[in-house]
Amino acid sequence: MKKFLAMLMAGAMLLSFAACGDKKEEETTAAPEATTVADAAGEVAGEEETEEAETEIVTNEDGETEVVTKEDDKKEDKKEDDKKEDGKKEDNKKEDDKKEEAGSKKPSSTAEIVEYFNKAVNNVKTNAKSVKQHSIKNYLASPTTIGDGLKGIYSMLGGDGWLDEMLQTNSTGAATYTGSDIKKNFPVENESWASKLTASDVTSAKCTESNGVYTITIKTKADDKTASVQHGQGHNPKVFSVVLPATINDNIPGIAKGITGDVKMNYPSGTVVVKVDVATGHVLEAEYDAHWTINFDKMNTVLPFATKFKYTINW
């Protein structure tokens, strides 16, 4: 990013001087056992017949014999089954409690999803063993607006095609970060946190689950044009490593400042997608698509840039 900004500033100087001359379990209730009461032998004739309960002589633990009915055995068996079922329910409850304590209870509302997301990505900064950066790709997000004094030279250089190629050429490849380098490079760059988003900063937040993994997708609200926003302010600077106005203004040489003027930045809606292990709450993968637009108001020039970040997290 620094290398790209340096080239951008050099380009701004070139263009500015040229112009001067010319971003629920159903409870199954067991049907009551139709217990038959055995009639005593010799009942009055004409009474209804009843089944005689089958009996069995068994020896108990003390070596004594006793007569039990098979009906009693069934009841004992049912008691054992009930105990096992209760045990399973208790185990499931304990497992659910553990998940809830670990913060893996699936979030549903926008506020819950954003809060869960913040906890997960902020944890990367302090507890991840390493972060593998697959790529950081800069690109032109949409057509530029070029002031009249620069159109001729910009077109001669190759226009938007030339600028997009320059942006992609100055993208960053693979790298692995550990320790303090995670803080420096994992969004948001050079901050001890990775997100300060609130529900009011997003247009949508979705969470789906598959094979023990949550996929969280968050889209941010757009930020109006500004010359003073910092990381942690507005909407997008709370979660993306966007280029800040001061970063550019501090790098425009004084000799060119009179021509370019101070730049202002606006940040169109961006998207973050993270995959989180349900059992541990650990982020497994993260993809960021941040949009940042440079406005040279004095030169009537608008440059709509964007950057895509892709990471895998190791715990």
**Which band of pLDDT confidence, cut at 50, 70 and 90, is reported for residue 255?**
confident
Strands (E), the chain: 55-59, 65-69, 130-140, 175-177, 202-210, 213-220, 223-226, 264-267, 271-277, 283-296, 301-314
pLDDT at 41: 42
Task: For residue 112, tell me if it sits in a domain.
Answer: yes
Task: For residue 23, tell me if it sits in a domain.
Answer: no
Span 216-237, average pLDDT: 96
- Identify which has the larger pLDDT, 261 or 222: 222
Task: For residue 168, tell me if it sits in a domain.
Answer: yes
Q: Element (H or E) spanning 157, and its range?
A: helix 148-157
pLDDT for 112 beyond 90: yes
The torsion angle over the Cα atoms of residues 134, 139, 142 and 146, rounded to 10 degrees, is 160
Task: For residue 61, tell me if it sits in a domain.
Answer: no
Task: For residue 252, tell me if it sits in a domain.
Answer: yes
Say whether 255 sits in a helix, a strand or coil: helix
pLDDT at 23: 37
pLDDT at 69: 63
From CA 126, how far away is CA 187, in angstroms rounded?
A: 13
Span 154-179, average pLDDT: 95
Structural domain range at position 155: 2-15+107-314
From CA 173, how far away is CA 187, in angstroms rounded?
A: 16
Contact 56, 70 (CB under 8 A): yes
Could you report the per-residue pLDDT of 46-76, keeping only the tens digit for each?
444 444 556 666 566 666 666 656 666 666 6
pLDDT at 252: 86
Task: For residue 37, tell me if it sits in a domain.
Answer: no
Mean pLDDT value across the chain: 82
26 token code pair: 């159903």
pLDDT at 20: 52
Q: What percent of the chain clears pLDDT 70, i.e. is strictly above it?
A: 71
Task: For residue 237, tell me if it sits in a domain.
Answer: yes
Residue with tokens 């993994």: 213
173 token code pair: 């490849």
Domain count, the chain: 1
The residue type found at 17 is F
Could you tell me which residues are beta bridge partners of residue 251? none
Task: For residue 120, tell me if it sits in a domain.
Answer: yes
pLDDT for 93 beyond 90: no
**How far apart are the two ends of the chain, measured CA to CA in Å?**
27
